[in-house]
Amino acid sequence: MTTNFTFRDFLVYLMTGLLLLITLGIIFFQIVVNQISCISVQYTFVKDYAVILVIFLIPFIYIVGHIVNTIDFIMMKYYVWLHPLLKTSKWWRWFLKINEFLFYRHRIVFQVVTYWKGNTTPKAFSTTEEFWILCAKLQKDKNYDNAGYWYILNDLFKAVYVIFFAGCLISAIEHKWYELLLFFVLLIFAKIRAHQFACFFVDTVARLSKST
């Protein structure tokens, strides 16, 4: 793995961690303002060490980004667990479809399955395992960067989708309807972009594999 890729990977976690804190700050804006005011009055030394506090805050934001991506992973595993239980049930198929739309369709693995089950000919791969073997071969041949760019963006917007999904739920619980509307619009945007980048990644891997 290259240093550049590691930096971009770090940037994804840092951005998603920061975005989650901003999202919570928007929902609980008045509480946050009041707490900051109290801290600045009661603990005057905070102003003197603001730079140091920000430096220590960066690793915390990075860890929060990892937590967001862990939740995204759990959401995927939840659907993988649910699918074989309900796929043969006529009564619960609608529930499975809703879960597929919410938690699965914007993922790379869904686009991989869609590709090899589709009518594209000739196919660069015919199973999901073959696809990941192609990715490994492209990495080994140092011809993966173009595809890797779309992979990282898909990772980023999957996490952003999780954040705005949580923002919608919390806003609804707190009866903050303007915030709910805002996060719902951003949720749709994040899902569309994640879906697009998943398609771009799969298509790029397929084209690169055919050109080698």
C-beta of residue 147 within 8 angstroms of C-beta of residue 208: yes
Summarize the chain as % helix, strand, coil (round to 5): 85, 0, 15
Cis peptide before 122 (omega within 30 of 0): yes
**pLDDT tens-digit map of 183-207:** 999 999 999 999 999 999 999 999 9
What token pair was written down for 171?
């806003």
Q: For 146-155, how does the pLDDT look when each residue is reduced to its tens digit (9 = 90+)? A: 899 999 999 9
Domain that holds residue 121: 3-211
DSSP state, residue 169: H
**pTM, rounded to two decimals:** 0.89
Q: What is the pLDDT of residues 51-79, one digit of tens each?
A: 787 888 888 999 999 999 999 999 999 99
pLDDT at residue 4 tops 60: no
pLDDT tens-digit map of 87-104: 888 888 899 999 999 999
Number of domains in the chain: 1
